[in-house]
């Protein structure tokens, strides 16, 4: 089984879907394979922050007509 975590950013102009994590599970059930591991949960949080902050900064720059820093 594959489980994908996606963010969907919706504005009046567009809808952007971005995959932030993908996990694979086998059919071998064990306590260790149920749910998310701590490492996977931390990955989701980290990638969610990166994605959300990146999109917020892009929208702010566009709204303020600023040049991005290089």
Give the per-residue pLDDT at 68.
Answer: 64
Strand partners, 8: 17
pTM of the prediction?
0.73
Q: Tens of pLDDT along 14-39?
A: 999 999 999 998 888 888 888 899 99
Strand partners, 26: none
Helix (H) or strand (E) holding 40: helix 38-64
Task: Report how far residue 60's alpha carbon sits from residue 43's, in angstroms, rounded to the nearest whole number.
Answer: 26
Q: Where are the domains of the chain?
A: 2-64
Helix (H) or strand (E) holding 22: strand 15-24
Q: For residue 52, how far is the Cα from the chain centroid?
A: 7
């Amino acid at each position: 089984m594959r489980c994908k975590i996606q963010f969907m950013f919706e504005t009046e102009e567009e809808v952007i879907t971005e995959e932030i994590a993908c996990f694979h599970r086998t059919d071998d059930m064990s306590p260790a394979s149920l749910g998310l591991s701590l490492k996977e949960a931390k990955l989701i949080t980290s990638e969610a922050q990166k994605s959300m902050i990146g999109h917020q900064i892009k929208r702010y720059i566009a709204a303020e007509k600023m040049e991005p820093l290089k």
